[in-house]
Amino acid sequence: MLKILVIDDNQPICQALQTLFSLQGYQVFCASEPALAWQKLASNDIDLVLQDMNFSAGEMHGDQGKTLFYQLRQHYPDLPIVLMTAWTQLDMVVELVKAGATDYIAKPWDDQRLLLTVANALKLKQLTAQQQRLERERQAAFAGKDLCNMVFASSKMQQLLQMTLQLAPASAAVLITGPNGAGKEGIANVLHANSPRKNKPFIKVNMGALPGDLMEAELFGAEAGAYSGASKTRIGRFEAADGGTLFLDEIGNLSLAGQAKLLRVLQTGEFERLGSSQTRHTDVRVISATNSDLTAAISRGEFRQDLYYRVNVVQLQLPALCERPEDIPVLARYFLAGKKTLSRAAGQQLQNYSWPGNVRELQNVCQRALLLSSNTEIQVDELGLPDNPLTAKRSLDDIDRPQLEQALLQAGGVVSRAAKQLGISRQALYRRMEFYGITTP
C-alpha cells in the first residue's frame, strides 16, 4: 500500500485529505508541524509528501514551507513533494517547482485534479525507480563489451545491442536491415569488435557503389593483365578479409550477375581471381546490410532467394530514429560534444521532428547548428529544420483517448515527455487526462 504524508497545521484539512486518499487505497499519515513530519518520515517508508506552505496562524508568505521543502529535498532527493497552499507568491512556487517540487495545488482544491496529480507523481516515482534498475542492468549487461561509441537510451536499442552481442561470438552470417542513416554500420562494428575475429581485418564494401564490370575484381581480385588497365595483381576484398569480417553494405543493390558470383563464395568459401584458374579459399564472416525489402525483391525477381538465405542466417532489425525518441536528446548531446547546449525550445523541436534521414540527419543538423550558432545555447532557428507537420502545436480537440494513452505508453508514463511528443503543454495534457478519466499513465 502506497503511503502519503500530509503536512498541514489545519486539522480539518488533514482529516479531509486523509478521507479522500484512504478511499483510493492509500495509507495516509498527518503531521501538523515540521517536527512531527520528520518523525513520520523516519518511522515510515513514505512514498509522497503533500506539504502546506504555512504552519503558524497568521503566516501567509510561505517562508516556512520553503525552508521545509529544501530540507526535505536535501534528505530525501527522490521523494515526490506536492505543494499545497492558499497563501503564497507565484514566484516562490515557480522557484520550488524548478528546484524539484512535483507540482503545486491551490486551496481550495479540486478532488479529481489532486488525485490525478498524486497518482501521476507516484507513477513517475515508480517509473524512475524502474529506469534506474534498468540502467543498472544495462551497465551490467554491457560491462566489458565494446559498443564502438554507440549512443542510446531507448529500450529498443538496448534489446538490439544485447542480441548483437549474443551473436558476436558466432560466425553465422547476419543481415542488418533498417532505413538509411539509422546506424547499420555501427551494429556491424559492434558484431566484429566483440567477436573472436576482432584482431583480424574488418573490410567494408558498399555493394551499391561497385560498377558492374569491376565487381568481380573488387570482391575476388584480379591478376595483372586480366583487364585493360590492370598493370599489377589486385587483392580482392574476400582475400583481404581472410580470417576476419566482411561487411557488405547495401547488398540489395547488387546486380543479379554479381549475386550469382557472390553466392558461390558464400557457399564454398572458394573463389578465383579474375584472369586466374587457381582456386583460393577464404575464411570470412559475412555481415550484410540493406534498406531494401529483400523478400519483395525476391518476388519481383530482382534478388536471388538462395542468396537471401545465405546472408540472412540471423536478421537484426534496426528501428528508425522516430521509433526510438528517447535516443534523440542523448545523440544530440553526443554530436554537440559539450561545445554548445540546446535551448529548451530547440530540444523540443528535435524531439518533435520526424527525422526522415535518421541518425545521419540528426548529426548533420547538430554540426550545422554548431557552425551557425553565435551563442553557447543553440536556438530553434539555428537548427535549420525543414517544415514538418509533427513540429506544429496541436489543439486538445486533435487528440483522442487512444492517441493520449499511446503517447503516455511510449513516454514510459512521463507526462512532460508525452506532452512534448503530442506538441502540447503539460497542463493541457493534464486537462485532457482529467477529461478522459485517465488517473494513471
417, 422, 441: which is closest to 126 by C-alpha? 441
What are the pLDDT digits (tens) for 265-315?
999 999 888 888 899 999 999 999 999 899 999 999 999 999 999 999 999
Is residue 336 scored above 50 in pLDDT?
yes
| CA dist., res. 430 & res. 415, Å (int) | 8
Average pLDDT over residues 71-79: 90
Average pLDDT over residues 342-368: 92
Of the listed ranges 53-62, 91-100, 103-112, the least confidently predicted one is: 53-62
Task: Give the other-Cβ count within 10 Å of 78's Cβ.
Answer: 10
Is residue 64 scored above 80 in pLDDT?
yes
Peptide bond into 329 cis (omega under 30): no
Residue 122 in grid coordinates: 507516484
Residue 413 in grid coordinates: 508514463
Using pLDDT thresholds of 50, 70 and 90, give the confidence band for residue 92: confident
Structural contact between residues 37 and 5, judged by C-beta atoms closer than 8 angstroms: yes
| CA dist., res. 132 & res. 120, Å (int) | 18
Cα-based angle 273, 232, 220 (whole degrees, multiple of 5): 20
Q: What is the H or E stretch that residue 11 is in?
A: helix 11-22
Residue 357 in grid coordinates: 534521414
What are the pLDDT digits (tens) for 203-261?
999 987 877 778 888 899 888 887 777 778 889 999 999 999 999 999 998 888 888 88
Is residue 166 scored above 90 in pLDDT?
yes
The whole-number pLDDT of residue 365 equals: 95
Structural contact between residues 318 and 184, judged by C-beta atoms closer than 8 angstroms: yes
The whole-number pLDDT of residue 390 equals: 44
Structural contact between residues 230 and 217, judged by C-beta atoms closer than 8 angstroms: yes
